[in-house]
Structure formats: structure tokens, C-alpha cells
Structure 1
């Protein structure tokens, strides 16, 4: 795969993730490369939704990425290799209920993002040492957990859009609802709250009867719909940061008129990640 080239426009390639544990695996990655691409072109890693529709997600991000001059990479977390929300949205940290076993850190699924970036960077001769990270809905769940639980040293800015519910930066609430029970300490909370992160919300993502809205007790406690939950969570984390004496690295952006799955969200996300 060292001969990887990203053709102009939409494409895809197979990434042989030799660093995966318990063993190597292959993932398809859907890519977009703007006509203006050079070795200095910005790279955006984008996390698809619960539908696992990576190609469609790439296509939605492509128009603004072309205008902005951004390479987009969308790794496909197919349901055969990553079954259910625990393996994708929640990063493969614990086995699903009723087992709930916490897996060893090297089994968690977040590391594929860094390995993919470094593989592509080297293969195409990119001068970029960092990337932007974007996720909407289930993809935003992955983005936030990746930032909270990992060093994420290569991410310079992240956007988490229209999350259905939020993992709380709390060590007293067990993962996946909080960050407790998986071997973390307060330094993880401090680092997470200091991250360069934009919480992006569509102000029309406010349907309490949306059939895909998470409805378990922890989710409902955050608000009646996604917009309310996002606003509540941002305020909650501002107070947490203040209590810990951390300068909050996050900011809140609203996409006027945007619903849950909306081109306005994708365009605004790409614009934020111009960097």
C-alpha cells in the first residue's frame, strides 16, 4: 500500500491496518481529493453516522471540501467487523451488555484513526503533521470519545455535530455514560476539556419524536431533543472546567436552520476545519 495515490475527486482504497489488535484487518476508506491538492493540503478525517454509509458521507462533505481545498478521508466501520453501537460509537471499549467487560486498551477501536492518517500522510508525501476531525450524530459520539480517552496528538481541531446524547466527563459514572470504570484519572478529564473542539448544533434538530433519538434514561436526562441536549452539555462542561480550573478549549457553534442530517451542517463543519 505504500504506492497509494489519491486521485482527484471521489475515490476509495483498502487500508490494511496491521496495527489492529487482536490482529490485522482491512477497512475500506472513501476519499475526496480537491483539484487544487498539493503536499500541503489540509486533511480531514470524517466519521460517518450509524447507517455506516461512508461513501454517501464522503459525497456530502465533498462540495465544500473542494471549495476549501481539503482532502477528506472517511473510514468505513462496517457492521461485520464493528457490530453495533458498542463497537463503533463507543469505540469497542467494553463488550456490550450483559457482559460489559472492559477490553484491554490496545483492543479499543480508536487507534485506527491515527494509523490511517500516518499511513496516508506517508504514502502521498504530505507535509501535514496534524489533521482535522469531523463527525455527525453517531460519528460525533466516536469523535468525542476518541478525544476523551486517547492522546489524539495528531488532531489539531475537531468538530462534533448533532450528538444524540453525550458521554459525561465524570469518573463517578461508568463508561459509556461517563468516563468511570475503565482505568482513567482526573488528568483525562482535564485534557479532554482543554481540547480544541467545536460542538456544532443545528437549531432545527429539535424533534422530540425523532425515531432515531436515543431514549435511554441517561439520554433523556440531558434534554427532550438533540439541540437541547447539546446546549445543556456545553453549559455543563463549562461548569466542570471552571471547577477543575481548566481553560475550556471548546466552543459552541449553531447552524441556523439546520436539521439533524443536513448539508448546512456538513458545509459549516468543513468551514470550521479550514484551520
Structure 2
């Protein structure tokens, strides 16, 4: 074999190796919702049609119509595929439609993601323009495409995804949400009407008792890794308002839960939340998912 042919064969083999899909999951990659794994780009929500969202999905074999649906919200890196990898790795045998939502950074800034695009230049935007509002539209889309008959969906969010989740629960009423996990959020919108939004409800437009009744009556699980205690984490926000909640994520989560519980008791409101402390875990989305997913009852 001459040198030229040897080099070409070597380059060809390298190309095949470098193009190999690296996931441990052996399901086919699909470009439409159906049994298996894939990614589809969703633009069907008219108010945000110019801001596409990538749906990284896994649908196991079985009766798709009867499967529960879980939406998974990733952290600030928007690495939805990694979150779906973790779900499939640990929960592949569960008959659940799992969809990790990627809000692309070139279409959704950090605030538009974690704070839902409720305000622009300190001006309140119509609810239909909120990033939160696309969830219900995606739920309808998934049901339409798969024939699924679920009447509710569930949510899991970690870090920035947990910020999205707990504010979604706070501000979006009359949804089809069943249960939601907010794991290791960096900071919170505490339901305190004396504290300025986004750290509290003051001047948010949602400071009345109906907001609190809805929020405290929701099935929200506040999940906290008890080792998520690094005050110097480069991705952790430090402002006077955020630091008033605590100097690290675990402390802030404890503050959020205890303050919310106290406010609900002061107003004689039903409090349906759960606090889950995951021992020995720091800021690890996969470990938090594994240790808390059962609280969704899927």
C-alpha cells in the first residue's frame, strides 16, 4: 500500500471517529416527536415565533397516549442535551415523555430566561410575551404531535432552570402544571410584598393575595444540595439583595422556603410545598435529578 493511500485511509478513519455521536444513549436521533430520542425546533407560539426553542426529547416504547410529561429546564449554560442524557441514563425504563427545553442564548438573554421576560426597560410586558408563557403552548404541541392525553405536566429545573421554574410557579396562574422541582436555584423571588422585584413581589404587579394563594397552593418542591455552599462560585450572583437571602445557594434556598412558609402562615393560607435536602450533594444537576425525580410521582 503506497503512502498516499495510507494517509487517505487514516484521515477517513479519523473523520468517522470525530463524527461519532458521543452519548451513551443508543436510541436513534429523530427530527420529529416520536418514539426514541431527538431534537426539534419549536416556533409554534405566535408571540415568540422569532425566538425558537429546541426541544430535546426522549419518548420510550409503549402507550405514548398514556405517558406523563416532564419538562426539564437546564442551567445557565442551556445544556439541555446533557440534562436529557442524565434523564435517559437513570430513568430510561420509565414510561415518561421527557423533554429538556433549550432556550438558546442568542435568542434569550439570562434575564429573559431566568426572569421570564416579564419586563423590558422597567416596563411590564404583556403576559403572552413572557418566556414562561411558551410552556403551555409546548405542552399543547407535544400532545398534538404524539396523541398524548395528559391533562397536566411536570417540571424539573436546576440552577438557572430552577429560577425559571420557581418564578413560573409564582407568576403563571391557570396552567396545567402538576408538580415542579426547583433544585439549587442561585437566588429567588421571595413572595414578600415589601421587597422590590425581582427579589420580592413589590412593584411586580403581582403583590395581591391571589398571587400568594396560587403560589402556596402549588405543588412546588424546593430541592437543596446541602453541600452547595460555595460563596465564591463564579456563577453565583452577589448583590445586596441576593446576599440578604444568604451567601450561598443552600442558605438562599433555606431562606426562600422558610420565609414563604412564614408568609403563608401569617396569611392563613394552605402551604403545599415540600423541602427536600439532598445530603452530600453540591451544585450537581445529575445527582439532584436522581435524588429528587421520584417526588414528581412519575
Same structural fold, with TM-score higher than 0.5 when normalized by the shorter chain: yes
Counterpart Cα distance in 2 of 1:146 and 1:216: 23
- The CA deviation at 1:68 is 2.9
In structure 2, the gaps of 5 or more residues are 1-30
TM-score (normalizing by structure 1) = 0.91
Greater RCO, 1 or 2 (C-alpha within 8 Å, sep 6+): 1
Partner residue in 2 for 1:33: 59
- The CA deviation at 1:223 is 1.3
| CA RMSD, 1 decimal | 1.8
TM-score (normalizing by structure 2) = 0.84
Partner residue in 1 for 2:33: 5
Partner residue in 2 for 1:209: 232
* 1:179 partnered with 2:201: yes
Deviation string 1:21-43 (CA, Å, 9 cap, x unpaired) is 5x554322101122445321111
- The CA deviation at 1:11 is 1.1
- The CA deviation at 1:250 is 0.2
Structure 1 residue ranges (4+ consecutive) displaced by more than 4 angstroms after TM superposition: none
* 1:88 partnered with 2:113: yes
Partner residue in 2 for 1:255: 278
- The CA deviation at 1:4 is 4.6
Partner residue in 2 for 1:166: 188
Larger Cα-atom Rg: 2
Inter-CA distance 179–15: structure 2 relative to 1 (3 Å threshold) = same
Partner residue in 2 for 1:198: 221
In structure 1, the gaps of 5 or more residues are none
* 1:130 partnered with 2:152: yes
Counterpart Cα distance in 1 of 2:154 and 2:67: 12
Tell me if the contact between 1:132 and 1:273 (Cα under 8 Å) persists in the aligned partners.
yes
Out of 263, 269, 284, the position equivalent to 1:246 is: 269
Counterpart Cα distance in 2 of 1:14 and 1:35: 22
- The CA deviation at 1:152 is 4.8
Counterpart Cα distance in 2 of 1:198 and 1:15: 28
- The CA deviation at 1:258 is 1.3
Partner residue in 2 for 1:140: 162
- The CA deviation at 1:192 is 0.5
Equivalent residues in 2 for 1:215-226, closer than 5 Å = 215-226=238-249
- The CA deviation at 1:159 is 0.4
- The CA deviation at 1:187 is 0.7
* Number of positions where the alignment pairs a residue of Structure 1 with one of Structure 2: 267
Tell me if the contact between 2:74 and 2:157 (Cα under 8 Å) persists in the aligned partners.
yes
Partner residue in 1 for 2:94: 68
Counterpart Cα distance in 2 of 1:55 and 1:264: 16
Q: Which has the higher helix share?
A: 2
Out of 257, 262, 269, the position equivalent to 2:292 is: 269
